[in-house]
Amino acid sequence: MAISLDIARDNPNAQTVTVPAAALQPGEDKPTLIGLSREELGEALGTIGVPQKQWRMRASQLWHWFYVRGVSDFAQMTNIAKDLRQKLDDAFTIARPEIVSEQISVDGTRKWLFRFPARGAGRPVEVETVYIPEEGRGTLCVSSQVGCTLTCTFCHTGTQKMVRNLTAEEILSQILIARDRLGDFPNADTPQGAIVPSEGRLVTNIVMMGMGEPLYNFDNVKKALLIASDGDGLSLSKRRITLSTSGVVPEIFRTGDEIGCMLAISLHAVNDELRDVLVPINKKWNLKALLDACRNYPGLSNAKRITFEYVMLKGINDSNQDALDLVRLLKGIPAKINLIPFNPWPGTDYECSDWERIEEFADIVNRAGYASPIRTPRGRDIFAACGQLKSASERMRKKERDAMAAQG
Ligand code: SAH
Ligand code: SF4
């Protein structure tokens, strides 16, 4: 059965693609090998009788099939003997999770809704992932959680209760399936008419800017990003992986030290009074604590700057004084400033600043030496722009979970 879900809102030209049935088969209930470290892979092989002296070699072989060739079926692993392939298939899965829908914006942006198993949350969960093609690059916006514990008042995800953290496998799977669907693996075909970079790889950049707060799921995000940047696998440069946080101060140093990716901070306000409202985590770690953590970000230099994201909200944070304060606040920190036109969602009271206001604000920021700071909204017609992601997944109440368990 093929499922498609049409949630394109404003633009009749946006398409919803029906995904072929074969791509929809969820993995059976076997443990996955995707998202394991090489050591864990070796140990998993030990459980099906592979002698320890072969673990390293076998783990490298599998790694290559998973992350360079993009294979999601053991049968395709031609340099592994048939009986071992069979044993692997009996014990483990490397199948992709289910794709519920794929929507394509008139500007080429793609949004997928993926379904992952319940893992204790009661029922299967759904998350969104967005692909943004540009000249010379393709950026994948990856989710780290289903819902979010935080409640930033301008963010649609913030209205969805936190359901659960995604596992390292689920974070990586978003990259793997996007590459499947775009034909971004060796010998794969890109769908006809797809808007993608004209040469080179189709997914060149990863931003952890989908649903959820990545630093509240540090271990899984770290594991996934270390695999994504592994030079013998997906091989994405750490300079092209950006993690965005609302300001989980205690984890910021570790992000640079243990993951080594680029950092983006959802700033959005230049004083604590307003930031307490827009980004409530500010009540726990205020601007001073946040900016101190930024100054200490490992590897920070003019060649490795922190991106400060600033959503433009009409009449709230968009005055010339705010722009001047922004520049003053960031003085001395190697920074890029990214002004994000507010993307509206059903039920929000905020409005996007007028275009002239954004330009005047940007001029002040520009004159202080920050280049081209306005982020072009993408995929608005399919509701895929920053802060518009929200899935229908809800945590089941305990009573419902118990009832489901009782049904077997
Ligand atoms: N939780 C993380 C990452 C996900 S949000 C964080 O908050 O940083 C990615 C970016 O989109 C953040 O800067 C967020 O503040 C911004 N954003 C959220 N809602 C938005 C909206 N409606 N319009 C524009 N940007 C939004
Ligand atoms: Fe969560 Fe980020 Fe949205 Fe805030 S902006 S509610 S931290 S996803």
Predicted pLDDT of residue 339: 96
For residue 201, is pLDDT > 80?
A: yes
Of residues 198, 203, 69, the one with CA closest to residue 130: 203
- Listed in sequence order, the residues at least 6 apart from 279 whose beta carbon sits closer than 8 Å to its beta carbon are 150, 152, 246, 247, 266, 268, 269
Higher pLDDT, residue 105 or 379? 105
For residue 25, is pLDDT > 70?
A: no
In angstroms, what is the span from residue 156 Cα to ligand 1's centroid? 9
Output the CA torsion sign for 227, 228, 229, 234. positive
Predicted pLDDT of residue 1: 31
For residue 147, is pLDDT > 50?
A: yes
- Phi, psi (degrees; rounded to nearest 5) at 4: -140, 150
Q: Specify the residue with its C-alpha closest to ligand 1, atom 3.
A: 209
pTM (global) more than 0.85:
yes
Predicted pLDDT of residue 24: 41
Pairing of strands 137-141, 205-208: parallel
CB of 266 sitting under 6 A from ligand 2: yes
In angstroms, what is the span from residue 382 Cα to ligand 2's centroid? 20
C-alpha distances (whole Å) from 21 to each of 5, 25, 70, 215, 383 are 14, 7, 19, 35, 25
pLDDT in tens, 253-278: 999 999 999 999 999 999 999 999 99
Q: Specify the residue with its C-alpha closest to ligand 2, atom 8.
A: 212
Output the CA torsion sign for 308, 311, 315, 316. negative
CB of 213 sitting under 6 A from ligand 2: yes
Residue 127 is encoded by which pair of tokens?
């998350």
CB of 155 sitting under 6 A from ligand 2: yes
Consecutive H or E run containing 364: helix 355-367
CB of 50 sitting under 6 A from ligand 1: no
Catalytic residue among 128, 170, 251, 309: 128
For residue 233, is pLDDT > 60?
A: yes
In angstroms, what is the span from residue 281 Cα to ligand 1's centroid? 13
How far is it, in rounded angstroms, from Cα 332 to Cα 89? 55
Residue 294 appears among annotated catalytic residues: no
Strands (E) in 135-246, as ranges, are 137-141, 145-146, 164-165, 205-208, 241-245
Band of residue 199 on the pLDDT scale cut at 50, 70, 90: confident
Residue 184 is encoded by which pair of tokens?
């971004």
pLDDT in tens, 60-82: 999 999 999 999 999 999 999 99
Q: How far apart are the first and last CA of the chain?
A: 24
How far is it, in rounded angstroms, from Cα 225 to Cα 233? 12
In angstroms, what is the span from residue 10 Cα to ligand 2's centroid? 24
What is the position in ligand 1's atom list of the atom closest to the CA of 244? 8
Predicted pLDDT of residue 167: 96
Catalytic residue among 261, 294, 352, 386: 386
What is the pLDDT averaged over residues 403-407?
53
Residue owning tokens 């002040």: 364
Q: Specify the residue with its C-alpha closest to ligand 1, atom 26.
A: 387
Output the CA torsion sign for 116, 117, 121, 123. positive
Residue 352 appears among annotated catalytic residues: no
Predicted pLDDT of residue 118: 84
According to the annotation, is 294 in a ligand binding site? no
CB of 147 sitting under 6 A from ligand 1: no
Residue owning tokens 């609302």: 246
Band of residue 18 on the pLDDT scale cut at 50, 70, 90: low
According to the annotation, is 366 in a ligand binding site? no
For residue 9, is pLDDT > 50?
A: no
Ligand with smallest separation from the Cα of 375: 1
Residue 136 is encoded by which pair of tokens?
């010379």
Predicted pLDDT of residue 4: 35
Predicted pLDDT of residue 261: 98
In angstroms, what is the span from residue 266 Cα to ligand 1's centroid? 7
Output the CA torsion sign for 352, 354, 358, 361. negative
Q: Check if the beta carbon of residue 143 is closer than 8 Å to that of residue 166.
A: yes
Determine what percent of the chain falls in helix, strand and coil, rounding each to the nearest 5.
Answer: 35, 15, 45
State the average pLDDT for the chain.
Answer: 89
For residue 397, is pLDDT > 60?
A: no
What is the position in ligand 2's atom list of the atom closest to the CA of 145? 8
According to the annotation, is 213 in a ligand binding site? yes
For residue 370, is pLDDT > 70?
A: yes
According to the annotation, is 212 in a ligand binding site? yes
Residue type, 386: C
